[in-house]
């Protein structure tokens, strides 16, 4: 079995996990909540091998930087448990999407655990178990990081904004659909909601894939968060009317200098926020900080099919999946280890070092 869809019956337990490992009679599988079908229907995409998972990653059935890292780690474990070439599987998974650094991080972590076990004389079953344990540990750590980011982010909002209910603008999707926990930027907004401090969550539609309109609205509904949807090009008038108190976004890669790659449309929001003196806050785990990428110009920006924009009118389409926001436009980067503000190479390196110390303890 390579892959198949399972329609989730009405009345099924909610919320469904974005990703789960399952043991079936014919072998282990990775089960994904297919994000391409949301919110119209909840269907699970069952990946029985690495090629199926690569397709799921490339078609965005599974997406979001932290969750891609978790999926990549489980994909390595899937190959190992099924007796397939782990190094070949790792290479295929890591190359599935180029911009999100977490994917490679998760793949290398599980593949490294498998390699270390083999080097220590473990048999195939024990080495596969080591890869699976690494994936499960990453999954747990991401959930813990999500909760800590929510706490740090809420404290930062309270520090930066005057007393009262916050009006927060967000872009793309950054909730549980991208994470082992409640998410990144959405987790902060959700914490504000639960603290009674969120008046409105402004949700950008987020062209071209409508991940705000489809996914963030879906998650806001599930939590009873008061939100209003707007087209991306309406954000400017919203700022001009004084209706935005802060911008919260996630990230797919943060370069060493603090440049932030996120879903296309993030950079214009940062410019608007700077002009209107509104805090522009990036929320991402330290696994999204890539100290090996020196600056924004060094980030590879994924180009996607023009058919995602138009297959009817335009013969040629410019369709970047992401854009890059320079650090001088970023008020703060919130991680599970604390906040970088101002955003500097030294502060990001300090937070990453702290994260490594915690994971080794």
pLDDT digits (tens, 9 = 90+) for 38-90: 999 999 999 999 999 999 999 999 999 999 999 999 999 999 999 999 999 99
Instruction: Give the side-chain half-sphere CA count within 13 A for 65.
Output: 31
Please check the confidence at residue 6 and state whether its pLDDT lies above 80: no
Q: How far apart (Å, rounded) are the C-alpha atoms in residues 91 and 104? A: 9
* Whether the Cβ atoms of residue 175 and residue 186 lie closer than 8 Å to each other: yes
- In whole numbers, what is the pLDDT of the chain averaged over residues? 94
Range with lowest mean pLDDT among 190-194, 255-259, 357-361: 357-361
Catalytic residue among 49, 252, 257, 323: 252
Contacts with 297 (C-beta within 8 Å, 6 or more apart), sequence order: 324
Q: How far apart (Å, rounded) are the C-alpha atoms in residues 186 and 188? A: 5
Ordered structural domains, the chain, with CATH: 3-141 (1.20.120.420), 148-360 (3.40.50.10470)
Would you say the pTM of this structure is higher than 0.85?
yes
pLDDT tens column, 144-154? 999 999 999 99
Range with lowest mean pLDDT among 4-8, 101-105, 164-168, 279-283: 4-8
Contacts with 217 (C-beta within 8 Å, 6 or more apart), sequence order: 39, 203, 227, 229
pLDDT tens column, 261-319? 999 999 999 999 999 999 999 999 999 999 999 999 999 999 998 888 876 666 788 88
Is 252 noted as a catalytic residue in this protein? yes
């Amino acid at each position: 079995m390579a892959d198949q869809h399972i329609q989730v019956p009405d009345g099924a337990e909610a919320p469904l996990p974005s990703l789960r490992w399952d043991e079936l009679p014919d072998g282990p599988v990775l089960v994904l909540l297919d994000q391409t079908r949301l919110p119209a229907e909840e269907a699970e995409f069952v990946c029985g091998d690495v090629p199926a998972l690569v397709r799921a990653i490339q078609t965005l059935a599974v997406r979001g930087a932290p969750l891609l890292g978790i999926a990549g780690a489980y994909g390595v474990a899937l190959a190992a448990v099924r007796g397939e070439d782990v190094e070949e599987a790792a290479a295929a998974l890591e190359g599935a999407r180029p911009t999100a650094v977490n994917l490679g991080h998760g793949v290398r972590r599980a593949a490294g655990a498998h390699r270390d076990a083999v080097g220590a004389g473990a048999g195939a079953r024990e080495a596969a178990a080591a890869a699976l344990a690494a994936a499960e540990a990453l999954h747990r750590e991401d959930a813990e990081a999500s909760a800590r980011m929510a706490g740090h982010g809420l404290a930062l909002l309270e520090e930066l904004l005057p007393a009262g209910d916050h009006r927060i603008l967000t872009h793309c999707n950054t909730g549980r659909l991208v994470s082992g926990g409640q998410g990144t930027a959405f987790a902060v907004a959700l914490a504000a909601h639960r603290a009674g401090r969120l008046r409105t969550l402004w949700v950008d539609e987020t062209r071209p894939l409508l991940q705000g309109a489809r996914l963030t609205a879906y998650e806001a509904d599930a939590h009873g968060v008061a939100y209003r949807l707007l087209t991306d090009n309406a954000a400017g008038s919203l700022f001009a009317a004084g209706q935005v108190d802060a911008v919260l976004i996630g990230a797919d890669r943060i370069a060493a200098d603090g440049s932030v790659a996120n879903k296309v449309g993030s950079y214009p929001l940062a410019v608007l926020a700077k002009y209107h003196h509104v805090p522009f806050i990036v929320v991402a785990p330290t696994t999204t900080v890539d100290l090996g990428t020196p600056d924004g110009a060094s980030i590879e920006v994924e180009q996607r099919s023009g058919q995602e924009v138009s297959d009817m009118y335009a013969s040629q389409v410019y369709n970047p999946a992401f854009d890059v926001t320079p650090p001088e436009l970023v008020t703060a980067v919130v991680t599970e280890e604390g906040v970088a503000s101002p955003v500097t190479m030294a502060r990001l390196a300090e937070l990453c070092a702290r994260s490594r110390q915690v994971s080794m303890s």
